[in-house]
Structure formats: C-alpha cells, structure tokens
A and B are shown apart, each in its own frame.
Chain A
Amino acid sequence: GENVEQHPSTLSVQEGDSAVIKCTYSDSASNYFPWYKQELGKRPQLIIDIRSNVGEKKDQRIAVTLNKTAKHFSLHITETQPEDSAVYFCAASPRGGSQGNLIFGKGTKLSVKP
C-alpha cells in the first residue's frame, strides 16, 4: 500500500524566514496530495492541496510543489509568522481511493520564533 515519509520531524525558524517541509510517497498511482495544519489539541485543517496534473500551486504565503517522477512533494511557507507554529501533515490519496481516503505522513512540528 501507499507509504508517505515526511521530513523534518521538527523545524524551527525565525519569524520572517521561509520554511520547507518535504514528503515522499511510494504509490505512483496516487494523484491527490493535501497538506494539513494541526494546532495543539485541534482538528487537522486543509491549508493547500495539489493534484498530479499540476506541478506547483500557490496561495499567498503558502506553495506546494509536486515532482511526480521523483514521487515527492513539498510545502513552502514564506515570511513565516508566529501563528504559523503548528504541526503540518502531508498526505496522499492512494490508488483507486477517494479523495477522503488519505495516508498521512508523520508530521512536522514547526516553531516560528518571534
């Protein structure tokens, strides 16, 4: 089945710096890759997603890139702010699955220091 690896597990940046989180997946048939932000004790919330027919997508300070050949995708946050501090999870929707059947990475705890 699909396996999603995520790095780094923790990331600490200064406010205003950029943060990059990387994920790899194993199933070449996976075609949907969302990113979720989870604040302590709260539910995961979708921040951006990308489909396999697109190489890059941007939404204000957040961007996601996808390299299908290498089977990896990355989250880029620019001009980080303290409120960006949270755990970020990447996910992939495996072969034949619905958009809601997601295999998650282990998460990256992002700390943005003022």
Chain B
Amino acid sequence: EPEVTQTPSHQVTQMGQEVILRCVPISNHLYFYWYRQILGQKVEFLVSFYNNEISEKSEIFDDQFSVERPDGSNFTLKIRSTKLEDSAMYFCASNWDKGFSGANVLTFGAGSRLTVL
C-alpha cells in the first residue's frame, strides 16, 4: 500500500535554529498538507499546497513557517527560527483531489517529532 514518508522521525534543535522537515507524498497525489500535534493535544491544520503554491493556511502558519516542493517528490516544511512552543509532532499528509469523492482519503505520514530546547 502506498505510504507518505517523512524524515527525520525525530529532531532535537536549539531555540532560534532553523529546521526543515521533509515529506514524500504518495506519488499520484496532488494535494499536500502539514499538520501538527502538540503532545497530548489535538491534530491542528497548518497548510495545504497544490500546484506549487499554498492553497490554504491556518493562523498557526505565520511568517516563521514556509513550505516548498523543491523537486518532483519532496515536500518540505521549514521553521525559520524555532521557539519552545514549536515542539510537536508534525504530520505530512496527501490526497489526490480537492473534492469529496469516496476514494479521496487523506493519508498521513508517520510524523516527525520536533523537540526545541
């Protein structure tokens, strides 16, 4: 079964450092997403990306965050200057279409745990 893959699985960084989290969405998917989950809390939408541009973003996704599709397979989330409160699990997800058809399941990756010290 196709999977969304994420690297690294865990990253520890110092406050103020830049972090890049990487994702390889499922190959025929066109829509890509980043979510985050602070430990013990709910999953929160950050941003969606289609056709090489952001299509939607939440209030959490401020100027410290950026996303990029640098090549045909990778989708990255960059945090420019990490803060303590950025510590969370970051999930990448993808699906193939914006619409609501039955087969258009949002598939999550295994997550990248970010710890900011």
Q: Is A103 an interface residue (CB 8 A)?
A: yes
| Chain A interfacial residues counted at CB < 8 A | 24
**Beta-carbon contacts of B56-81 to A below 8 Å, as 1s and 0s?**
10000000000000000000000000
Complex Cα distance, B94 from A46, in Å, reads 13
Instruction: Bin the interface of chain B by size.
Output: 20 to 34
Q: Which residues on B sit within 8 Å (CB–CB) of A93?
A: 100
Q: A42-B110, A43-B108, A45-B108 are in contact. Are A100 and B42 (CB under 8 A)?
A: no
Q: A89-B43, A105-B42, A107-B42 are in contact. Are A98 and B48 (CB under 8 A)?
A: yes
Partner of B106, one of A42, A46, A103: A46
Q: List 19 A-B contacts (CB under 8 A).
A: A34-B106, A43-B111, A44-B43, A44-B91, A46-B105, A89-B42, A91-B43, A97-B56, A98-B56, A98-B98, A99-B100, A101-B45, A101-B56, A102-B106, A104-B43, A104-B44, A104-B45, A106-B42, A107-B42
Q: Which residues on B sit within 8 Å (CB–CB) of A35?
A: none
Complex Cα distance, B104 from A51, in Å, reads 12
Binding site for B on A (CB under 8 A): 31-32, 34, 36, 42-46, 51, 89, 91, 93, 97-107
Q: Which residues on B sit within 8 Å (CB–CB) of A42?
A: 110
Q: Is B2 an interface residue (CB 8 A)?
A: no
Question: Which 10 residue pairs are nearest across A and B when measured between Cβ atoms?
Answer: A98-B98, A43-B108, A104-B43, A104-B42, A106-B42, A100-B106, A100-B33, A100-B95, A99-B100, A101-B56
Q: Which residues on A sit within 8 Å (CB–CB) of B104?
A: 99
Complex Cα distance, B9 from A43, in Å, reads 12
Q: Which residues on B sit within 8 Å (CB–CB) of A107?
A: 42
Told that A43-B109, A51-B100, A99-B100 touch, could you supply 9 new A-B pairs with CB distance under 8 A?
A: A31-B100, A43-B110, A44-B108, A46-B106, A89-B43, A100-B94, A100-B95, A102-B43, A102-B106
Q: Which residues on A sit within 8 Å (CB–CB) of B41?
A: 106
